[in-house]
Amino acid sequence: MWLWEAVRVASRHEMPATVVLGAQWGDEGKGRVVDYFAESADFVVRYQGGNNAGHTIVVGDEKLALSLIPSGILYPDCTPVIASGTVIDPKVLLDEMDMTMSRGLDPSRVKLSSNAHLIMPYHRKLDAAIERYLGKNRIGTTKKGIGPTYTDKYARVGIRVQDLFDPKIFRKKVEAALEDKNKLLPRIYNTLPMDPDEIIDEYREYADRLEPHVADTSLLLFNGLREGKQVLLEGAQGTLLDIDHGTYPFVTSSNPTAGGAAVGSGIGPKSLDEIIGVAKAYISRVGTGPFPTELHDEVGDRMIELGGEYGTVTGRRRRCGWLDLVALRYSNRVNSFTKLFITKLDILSAFETIKVANAYQSAGEIHDEFPVQQSVLYNCEPQYEELPGWETDITAVRTFSDLPKEAQRYVRYIEERVEVPIGWISVGPERSQLVEVT
């Protein structure tokens, strides 16, 4: 009986974790949202993806662009955690640590899972070669080596962070990997083979610097939750880029969705309490793939310019369109959002009228829900409802009741159609440019 009593006592002390993730095709402004919640968090955890996703935090006149280190780095009492579900380019991570140190922050607090997989030079080379080989059928990857690293992970031939610290195992794994990759690179992709000794020497230097940061991050978070600590989990990319639930094959190689938060962090799903979906007041995506509400006119161009819609990591120009509520309802279905955080509402201040897609029409059929067959997304016509705009600068507004009535109506309209309460709205890039919705 004493064992079960101990379990009951432990469960009473465990605090739930909060997940913040993208509800669209990524680039929703998750970085500033995570930063908003990170101020009161003890741990901020990146649970999937790699340096193919970035977020920018605006602090006064300064911008901090991060691709691997979680936003918790800004707060001295917070531990930034890079968990097992991520893939790590050690050079990028160390460069990012150096950058944060030069900005007066303390990267010694960063914890890195020993089970995270390493992006190797041959992964980056393969990524670029495959994209080039595919030509017009390319996926539109960032060529950072993310996909090939996850491919090796699931083929069970990947190299993990912990392997860096056993020279014999590391050499054996690199040589085994290159035995295969050096057949592919010259014969199929017409590129030069790679030298294992060069890679081993390079990564040996990274090992010395990374070792103080390596930890059993699953245990770290488990103990933190039992001690009543606040854990904030941040997803990279967005729901519609999820490898299982996104617009495949134009997706990322991991699970940004809420289920991926438990798997990638190594904490149990019962620990997840708040699941906050971040969505722009309009929608964007970068790279190729279907996009029913994409605008190919001056309205879309204006959204891009006013919203600064260029990728944090790649600098690529994003594609923009009106808000797609079919996709947002689908995102809620696969994530079970408890609240939504709507970003960039201020960008819509430029438009006299605002359109919202409530359904798709394809081959005479109306789709209220996200279609099972992806071919529908390529050939559908969004069914819009038009709402009045407000054409008023709202960047100084801090209370919901002070927003123009038209802006309030737009927010309530989203709530009603998605059936999820909206808790917050951003009306500008600064930390302070937020409105709590009551």
Among all residues, which ones are annotated catalytic? 27, 55
Q: How far apart are CA 46 and CA 376, in angstroms?
A: 33
Q: How far apart are CA 436 and CA 176, in angstroms?
A: 54
CB 167 within 8 A of CB 204: yes
Q: CA dist 86 to 9, 216, 240, Å?
A: 32, 14, 18
Q: Give buried/exposed letters for 61-81 (b at 16+ CB in 10 A, else e).
A: eeebebbbbbbbbbbeebbbb
**CA 199 and chain centroid, separation:** 29
Neighbouring C-beta atoms of residue 202, cutoff 10 Å: 13
DSSP 429: S
The owner of tokens 């149990």 is: 268
Structure tokens at 358: 């409530």
Q: How far apart are CA 342 and CA 421, in angstroms?
A: 11
> Residues, the chain, total?
438
CA dihedral for 361, 372, 385, 242, sign (positive or negative): negative
CB 33 within 8 A of CB 341: yes
**At 28, phi and psi to the nearest 5?**
-85, -5
Q: Which of 240, 388, 209, 409 has the alpha carbon at shortest distance from 326?
A: 240
Q: Which of 45, 43, 37, 35 has the alpha carbon at shortest distance from 74?
A: 35
**At 327, phi and psi to the nearest 5?**
-65, -35
CB 97 within 8 A of CB 70: no
Q: How far apart are CA 180 and CA 151, in angstroms?
A: 13
Burial class (CB in 10 A: 0-12, 13-18, 19+), 261: buried
CA angle 247, 253, 255 (to 5 degrees): 80
CB 317 within 8 A of CB 309: yes
Helix, strand, or coil (residue 33): helix
